[in-house]
Amino acid sequence: MSVSAQSATPSADAAVVFDGVSKHFPASGNSGAFTALDNVSLTVDRGSITGIIGRSGAGKSTLIRLVNGLEKPTGGKVLVNGVDVGALDEAALRALRRSVGMIFQHFNLLSSRTVFGNVALPLEISGMDKRAIEQRVRPLLDLVGLADKHGRYPAELSGGQKQRIGIARALATEPKLLLSDEATSALDPETTQSILELLKRINAELGLTVLLITHEMEVVKAVTSDVAVIDHGRIVERGHTFDVFTHPKHATTRALLSGLAGSKLPDAVVRALKPQPAAGDRAVVRLTFFGAAAEKPLISQLIKSVGAEVNIIAGTIDEIGGAPYGSLVVAYGADAETSGRAERFFTENGLVTEVLGYVA
Amino acid sequence: MSPDLLLRIGSATIDTIYMVAVAGLIGSLIGLPIGIFLATSGKGELFPAPTLNHIVGLIVNATRSTPFIILVVAIIPFTRLLTGTSIGTKAAIVPLTIATIPFVARLVEAAIREIDKGLIEAARAMGATPMQIVFKVLLAEARPALTLALTMTAVSLIGYSAMVGAVGGGGLGDLGIRYGYQRFMPDVMLVVVIVLIVLVQLVQSAGDGLARRFDKKNRKT
């Protein structure tokens, strides 16, 4: 498990360990004192794609900046490949940064440099000679599918293309860890998917560990193997992405999940929902099924065993962290007999159910 | 107009160009690093030195708020020390340079502060040293704005150089005052003004053109 509770003893597999990390900003100028991170412990496994999700202001930007020392913790330790980032002097910190790639929400490409020049920049900074840079940059542009744009300037590219350049630039120094700071937040959904696909491919082909922060559950769902939910500077929930999505425990997680397509009920149903049933009402129930259950003809079996009408109100079948997952909201008679039969059916088939309310 | 006068106008034009070029060059060479320092030495910036930043800022402001004509007179001892004289083209270069330094410094500071902080962060994340950030990111990205800043400096210097004519500085301003004004020769004054306008136009067009070439941001796709 990549996001483990025991982080004081980092496993050999850990790419990044946050060990009781706090970040406190003292009051200055027009802003008061502020605690961005409060005793955060988290382990990021080597080779994983780990997501940290939270609302804006939850502390996730600060958290990711601790990894390459752009911010210093006021308490606790951050270990990158076992090295305590806070203990490094400036020169050692620069060396570490050259081994950690980073991509940004607004791409942060130099407008004065061509595509080639932007990808070459980190190599120039590390003192590589021109010929070697040329040999390194070409395949990177191929990897992100922009070899034909090498002489263009960022202003001539679309947002998705700019982020591809950002990714090629981040990979130039052949890092083992890639930090992604809301890298798809400025992109449209379609472009977001293609960038996420690219991150997935890089993770698989280069064995690169990816630590990404985002406020979008779609991003977490699409690429991450592990996730941590951050709220008000604390990690409130963590685990394998599939587990967190299918069994969210914390209210913040549920709130973030409720925005996902397919998990929302139609407004008319939400308005009609009552907490207690009256005679003749129907129960509205959310069924969650995964793995083998997702492949059974559940609905026809349910109708047979309930022996009454079953309405489908909302539903989605999806993949989370590569595993099939389905969510179905159905309504059936709320009388004791029908409900009893339905519940027996759910238990027999190992379905997770949640009664959302009752409608007339 | 007599050939003698035309010759004087020609040599005064050369004097003006010479003064503007030398003062502009030396002033910019000194003003540029001061401007970079002002833009990068605030609290939490690349070379944090807030106290020194404040002091340099004060000196720059003081120099900029001193009227140029007063500056010229006030630094006569210094001018004499450097050039051995207080009149003529050579002497005029000293106050022109002194006035250029803070002017350039503030324009450079503004040009650098315009750069997106995200670029500095990206460069830091790449492991760049502060000096690498200055040369590879800040100066490179600010090049169009710096070109316009230096153009503005040259245009202002042409104006200032005419002013030093009032205190025996040489150049077109001197010619205009001595012939056009004191000897009531409006045709000389007119030619002087036209030459100055042409000079300013040339400098501005060249600067604008160069800045456009450097600007890769506002290109059409």
Query: Phi and psi (nearest 5°) for B128?
Result: -75, 145
Question: Do A50 and A92 lie in a common domain?
Answer: yes
CB nearest A121 (choices: B118, B136, B219): B136
Q: How far is B217 from chain A (nearest CA, A)?
A: 5
In whole angstroms, give the CA distance from residue A15 to residue A46: 5
Q: A217: left (phi > 0), else alpha (psi -120 to 50), else beta?
A: alpha
pLDDT digits (tens, 9 = 90+) for A235-262: 999 999 988 887 888 988 888 887 675 6
pLDDT per residue as tens, chain B (221 positions): 788 888 999 999 999 999 999 999 999 999 999 999 999 999 989 999 999 999 999 999 999 999 998 999 999 999 999 999 888 889 999 999 999 999 999 999 999 999 999 999 999 999 999 999 999 999 999 999 999 999 999 999 999 998 887 777 888 988 988 888 888 889 999 999 999 999 999 999 999 999 999 998 876 44
Question: Do A338 and A252 lie in a common domain?
Answer: no
Average pLDDT, chain A: 88
Question: Do A272 and A304 lie in a common domain?
Answer: yes
Question: Do A227 and A81 lie in a common domain?
Answer: yes
Q: Do B124 and A106 touch (CB under 8 A)?
A: no
Among residues B62, B150, B66, B137, the alpha carbon closest in space to that of B108 is found at: B150
| B118 contact partners, CB below 8 Å, separation of at least 6 | A104, A106, A108
Q: How far is A253 from chain B (nearest CA, A)?
A: 30
Q: Could you tell me where the DSSP H helices lie in B126-164?
A: 130-132, 139-141, 143-164
Which secondary-structure segment (H or E) carries A141? helix A130-143
Chain centre distance of CA A332:
35
Q: What is the mean pLDDT of residues A96-106?
A: 96
Question: Do A300 and A281 lie in a common domain?
Answer: yes
Percent of chain A predicted with pLDDT > 90: 57
- Stronger pLDDT, A313 or A84, i.e. the higher one: A84
Instruction: Note the pLDDT of residue A6.
Output: 43
Q: Tell me A227's DSSP state.
A: E
Helix axes B89-113, B143-164, angle to 10 degrees: 150
Which residue's entry shows tokens 């790639």? A101
Instruction: Note the pLDDT of residue A148.
Output: 95
Question: Do A288 and A341 lie in a common domain?
Answer: yes
Query: Phi and psi (nearest 5°) for A146?
Result: -130, 30
Q: How far is A112 from chain B (nearest CA, A)?
A: 6
Instruction: Report if residue A91 sits inside a domain.
Output: yes
Q: How far is B123 from chain A (nearest CA, A)?
A: 8
Q: By three-state DSSP, how is residue A38 classified? A: strand
AA letter at A260: L
In whole angstroms, give the CA distance from residue A290 to residue A353: 12
Number of C-beta neighbours around residue A315 at 10 A:
15
Question: Do A31 and A80 lie in a common domain?
Answer: yes
CB pairs < 8 Å spanning A and B? 71
Q: Which two tokens stand for residue A351?
A: 């379905």
Domain that holds residue A340: 267-359
Using pLDDT thresholds of 50, 70 and 90, give the confidence band for residue A201.
Answer: very high
Question: Do A230 and A316 lie in a common domain?
Answer: no
Helix axes B89-113, B76-83, angle to 10 degrees: 110
Instruction: Report if residue A90 sits inside a domain.
Output: yes
A226, A257, A288: which is the final residue of a domain? A257
A294: domain CATH number? 3.30.70.260
Instruction: Report if residue A169 sits inside a domain.
Output: no
Q: By three-state DSSP, how is residue A49 classified? A: strand
Percent of chain A predicted with pLDDT > 70: 93
pLDDT digits (tens, 9 = 90+) for A316-353: 777 777 777 778 888 888 888 888 888 888 888 877 78
Instruction: Report if residue A119 sits inside a domain.
Output: no
Question: Do A271 and A355 lie in a common domain?
Answer: yes
**Which chain A residues are within 8 Å of B123, Cβ to Cβ?**
121, 125
Residue A106, pLDDT above cutoff 80: yes
Q: Which two tokens stand for residue A93?
A: 């910190």
B window 189-218, beta carbon within 8 A of A: 214, 216-218
Instruction: Report if residue A104 sits inside a domain.
Output: no
Domains of chain B: 3-214 (1.10.3720.10)
Q: How far is B132 from chain A (nearest CA, A)?
A: 7
Question: Do A195 and A325 lie in a common domain?
Answer: no
A257, A285, A313: which is the final residue of a domain? A257
Q: By three-state DSSP, how is residue A101 classified? A: strand
Q: How many domains does chain A have?
A: 2
pLDDT digits (tens, 9 = 90+) for A155-200: 999 999 999 999 999 999 999 999 999 999 999 999 999 999 999 9
Residues A156, A81: contact at Cβ < 8 Å? Answer: no
Q: Do B126 and A121 touch (CB under 8 A)?
A: yes
Residue A104, pLDDT above cutoff 90: yes
Using pLDDT thresholds of 50, 70 and 90, give the confidence band for residue A303.
Answer: confident
A59: domain CATH number? 3.40.50.300
Instruction: Report if residue A317 sits inside a domain.
Output: yes
Which secondary-structure segment (H or E) carries A223? helix A217-223
* Window from A50-54, A298-302, B66-70, B88-92 with minimum mean pLDDT: A298-302
Q: Report the residue of B126, B132, B137, B141 to disrupt the A interface, i.e. the one with the largest count of A CBs within 10 Å.
A: B126
Tell me whether B122 touches chain A (CB under 8 Å). yes
Residues A242, A321: contact at Cβ < 8 Å? Answer: yes
Question: Do A274 and A210 lie in a common domain?
Answer: no
Question: Do A244 and A300 lie in a common domain?
Answer: no
Q: By three-state DSSP, how is residue A236 classified? A: strand
Instruction: Note the pLDDT of residue A1.
Output: 43
Among residues B5, B10, B12, B1, the alpha carbon closest in space to that of B174 is found at: B12
CB nearest A97 (choices: B126, B136, B219): B126
Residues A359, A282: contact at Cβ < 8 Å? Answer: yes
A257, A283, A298: which is the final residue of a domain? A257
Q: How far is CA B81 from CA B25, B50, B96, B165, in A?
A: 21, 33, 16, 20
In whole angstroms, give the CA distance from residue A181 to residue A163: 12
Instruction: Report if residue A272 sits inside a domain.
Output: yes
Q: What is the mean pLDDT of residues A25-53?
A: 90
CA closest to A28 among chain B residues: B43
Q: Do A95 and B128 touch (CB under 8 A)?
A: no
Instruction: Report if residue A285 sits inside a domain.
Output: yes
- Stronger pLDDT, A33 or B52, i.e. the higher one: B52
